[in-house]
Amino acid sequence: MGGFTLTKKQKFLAGVVCSLIVLELISIAHYVTREHDSSPMGIFNSALRILAFLTTILLLLKFLLPDWEPHRKWLGCLLGAVFTISILQGIRSIFAQSAGLLASQESIRLIMLLLGLVFGALLSSHFQLLRGIIRNKNTEKTAGIITAILLGLTTLSTMMNMIYAIWQSRNPILIQIGAAKPFSIGDFLSFNQLLLYIYQIGYTILFFAWPVLSRPILEKENTFMQITFEKNLNPKQKPADQSALGFGVYFTDHMFLMTYDDGEGWHDPRIVPYGPIALDPAAMCLHYGQEVFEGLKAYCGADGKIRLFRPAENMARLNLSNGRLCIPPIDEAFAVHAVEELVKVDRDWIPTQDGASLYIRPFIFATDPFVGVRPSRQYIFAVILSPVGAYYASGLNPVKIFVEEKYVRAVKGGLGFTKAAANYASSLRAQQEAQAKGFSQVLWLDGVERKYIEEVGTMNVFFAINDEIITPALQGSILGGITRKSCIEILRAWDYNVTERPLALEEVVAAAKSGALKEAFGSGTAAVVSPIGELACGGETLSINNGEIGAISQRLYDELTGIQWGKLADPYGWTKVIA
Ligand SMILES: Cc1ncc(COP(=O)(O)O)c(C=O)c1O
């Protein structure tokens, strides 16, 4: 989707790589033609250099054409092999140097080889495979600066080496005038050795950190498909009382739609007046439930700015759901862009009252008119918006939870980790029965042993037991909540001991009885943080923190809502100001 153009940074880097390639080519030509060494080590070195040179060119191509995928596996193997050999070569060079075995020219060649290889490896967007391990923007900035410095040093050193190599290449004029040594080789080599060590350490670190570093540099400049716009000429009356908005009752004037066909892929993105969507009665979503969705919010801050909270995470999760339900993937960046455009169109609908926000519901459903069980060949991706009231009208409010031992929400291998409509259909009965008994949500246990805690209603769950804050590990049956992820990151930044591990109900019950259970809370986009005041479990009622809000829940709630509404600084770079 969309074309591909180079950003200024990319053009600059491409220029640097091209210059290095030219230098490398001159150096290889010089080495092969004038210093040809027919010993096994000489042949090995020549082969390695040519390989490295080819790799650099491949990497440049990969850099310029990041969507070029067929070579993915073998380029990775090639790079891995070349990089390993270059490190071994470097080590050999250091030992040989100290043993006085290598001629100065050889050591220079090795330095250049190493720098060329590592620099090439550094440019590989291939290593973005590890991307997403750290997504802290500050880390990226720092790493970007380090990269720039090291790139500068590399270029400088390579050029110096080249000049030195040419100078040393029995320059006829120098030989004639008898000035073979322009300056002390010893000084030069030790300076280069020093650089070599710095680079080796620096680049080894960079090599492994590259997934993070490359993101801001290699990220595609987005030239998205054009979204067509049809204005709603009959806008609705906006709800007058923002304190009575409730959740998911009102919808704005426009919606985003995009269509998928097997032949055309995703196409025809459009913002149109909000209204019914015509469906063939045989549309597959109506029969086999091939539907996935997401949920996020737009917040109008006190500063008047409109912010989204980690929207890219929602779109990544949407693709995770898509994958499980055989729905073709969407372009995540484009989906975020579509949400932004839609929110901007309907920005007057964003509530301004404290705690109120605009709920965003992206969803994809199968539209193929076919009543047979197979993945649909046609889909609609839609986004609708709903102004919603504050979840807590008067501050955080602890809830009563019923431990569900009869029904299960999901099992490993099933759909639990996705936001598939089917999961919510299967949860309704338990929720209805718990509500009839006076509870607000159910605590879901694992579907096999009914032993381990999974989620609470449509939220993830955390328990503070002694000095440990535990949240069930994501093992396939639990939805990876974006609020859960954010809570974990914030708590760790605050130096809490947060663990993601299987948590047995009996451990929580025992902790509640012994007083080790300090507090418990759910986490999700709707409530942000929802303290649990009471757990009803097998006829017993356990009070948690005397039914009061815990200090951790309150602090987390204040931090997250502060970031979302722009009242607090956003050190994590989670919010995206869109207007
Ligand atoms: C089943 C389930 N678990 C957890 C969550 C919390 O996820 P998030 O924090 O991304 O809203 C949700 C809400 O979307 C949910 O439906």
Biggest CA-to-CA distance, the chain: 102
Query: What pLDDT is attached to residue 455?
Result: 97
Instruction: Please choose from 459, 477, 489 the residue to mutate so as to test ligand 1's pocket, defined by most ligand atoms within 8 A of CB.
Output: 459
- Ligand 1 atom 7: the closest Cα is on which residue? 481
DSSP per position, 354-416: TT-EEEEEEEEEE--B--SSS--SEEEEEEEEEEE--SSTTS---EEEEE-SS--S--TTTTT
How confident is the model over 373-403, as pLDDT tens digits? 999 999 999 999 999 998 876 678 899 999 9
Task: Give the Cα separation of 561 and 177 in Å (integer).
Answer: 76
295 lines ligand 1 (CB under 6 A): yes
Query: What pLDDT is attached to residue 538?
Result: 87
Decide: pTM greater than 0.75. Answer: no
**DSSP class of residue 527?**
T
Query: What pLDDT is attached to residue 293?
Result: 98
310 lines ligand 1 (CB under 6 A): no
Name the 3-class secondary structure at 148: helix
Tell me how far the alpha carbon of residue 138 lies from the centroid of ligand 1, in angstroms: 27
Task: Give the Cα separation of 262 and 368 in Å (integer).
Answer: 10
Task: Give the Cα separation of 503 and 69 in Å (integer).
Answer: 41
- Ligand 1 atom 4: the closest Cα is on which residue? 459
Cα→Cα distances 50→24, 45, 88, 143, 163, Å: 9, 9, 17, 30, 20
Q: Which atom of ligand 1 is nearest to the CA of 409?
A: 1
Query: What pLDDT is attached to residue 392?
Result: 74
- Ligand 1 atom 5: the closest Cα is on which residue? 459
Task: Give the Cα separation of 154 and 206 in Å (integer).
Answer: 13
Task: Give the Cα separation of 275 and 386 in Å (integer).
Answer: 13
Token pair 């600059």 is found at 12
Burial class of residue 348, CB neighbours in 10 A (0-12, 13-18, 19+):
exposed
Joined together, the tokens standing for residue 49 give 């250099």
Where do the DSSP E strands lie in 262-356?
Answer: 265-273, 291-293, 296-300, 306-309
Phi, psi values for residue 249, rounded to 5°: -100, -45
Q: What is the dihedral of CA 35, 36, 40, 46, to 10 degrees?
A: 90
- Ligand 1 atom 1: the closest Cα is on which residue? 458
* Crossing angle of helices 8-34 and 104-122, rounded to 10°: 150
Q: Which atom of ligand 1 is nearest to the CA of 485?
A: 9
How confident is the model over 297-352, as pLDDT tens digits? 999 998 999 999 999 999 999 999 999 999 999 999 999 999 999 999 999 999 99
Phi, psi values for residue 24, rounded to 5°: -60, -40
Block means of pLDDT (10 residues each) for the chain, 579 residues, are 49 58 58 59 61 55 50 50 55 52 52 56 40 41 50 54 54 38 43 45 43 44 83 95 94 98 94 97 97 98 94 97 97 96 96 94 98 97 96 81 96 96 96 94 96 96 97 96 97 95 97 96 96 93 95 97 94 91
